[in-house]
Amino acid sequence: MEPRSRIAPVPSPDGVHEDTRPVGQDDGPVPQSPFGDDIDVSITDRRWHMAMRDPAREVKRAVRAAMRELGVSGGVSVVLADDRTVQRLNHLHRDRNRPTNVLTFEYAPAGSGAWLWGGDIMLAFPTVAREARAAGRTVRNHMMHLLVHGVLHLSGYDHHHAGDARAMEMEEARILGRMGIPNPWKHRNGRAAGAAR
């Protein structure tokens, strides 16, 4: 599994690796799982329940919508965790000893030739809540954005270069718009409202 994050290049567990495939490069159809879609949700920090009604249902809604829009199928496990858990994984897999908002681990990296699409997405409640407050949006809407972001990573999107980042932001805005969630990249008060990279 290869962790992905919103903020930096990603080392794989067996060494440093960065996905340099340009976004939009056609490697053929995305491999589909013969087992259909399976979205597993674990909530390990109770503050997610206090921030919104039925977070597991909202997670499934965001992940399914993104998968449908991207035309992918497979298993996704989502863990709604805390900063400490995400910081530990961020340190272990990315050598960054700090929490981040979202980490994504691919089952089979895009372009690897493996048949299995899917992976794990982990979110850290305190970081997500802090970013939501700073951007003037709800925790729910910010969580939905980060989940769509994670599914895009599982589908081969990345944001290491300005053009790739812009393509990813446009895709996030399109998918979120179809769910009735405001564009997180629309400028508010002269600055971008999306979470910091």
Residue 187 banded pLDDT, cuts 50, 70, 90:
low
Q: Is residue 23 part of a domain?
A: no
CA-to-CA distance for 123 and 193, rounded, in angstroms? 19
CB 44: neighbour CB atoms within 10 A? 12
Q: Is residue 135 part of a domain?
A: yes
Q: What's the pLDDT at 162?
A: 86
Closest CA to 33 of 90, 91, 107: 107
153 is in an annotated binding site: yes
CATH number, residue 162: 3.40.390.30
Q: Is residue 3 part of a domain?
A: no
Provide CB contacts within 8 A for 27, sequence distance 6+. 21, 110, 111, 156
Q: Is residue 143 part of a domain?
A: yes
Q: Write the pLDDT tens digit of every residue in 63-90.
A: 999 999 999 999 999 999 999 999 999 9
As a whole number, mean pLDDT of residues 174-196 equals 73
Host domain of residue 50: 34-184
Q: What's the pLDDT at 110?
A: 57
As a whole number, mean pLDDT of residues 157-186 equals 90
Closest CA to 102 of 6, 1, 28, 2: 6
- Positive/negative CA dihedral, 16, 26, 75, 68: positive
Taking the model in full, what pTM does it have? 0.77
- Eight-class DSSP state of 78: E
Q: Is residue 193 part of a domain?
A: no
91 is in an annotated binding site: no
Say how many domains are in the chain: 1
As a whole number, mean pLDDT of residues 93-100 equals 93
Q: Write the pLDDT tens digit of every residue in 108-157.
A: 765 666 657 899 999 999 999 999 999 999 999 999 999 999 999 998 88
Residue 10 banded pLDDT, cuts 50, 70, 90:
very low
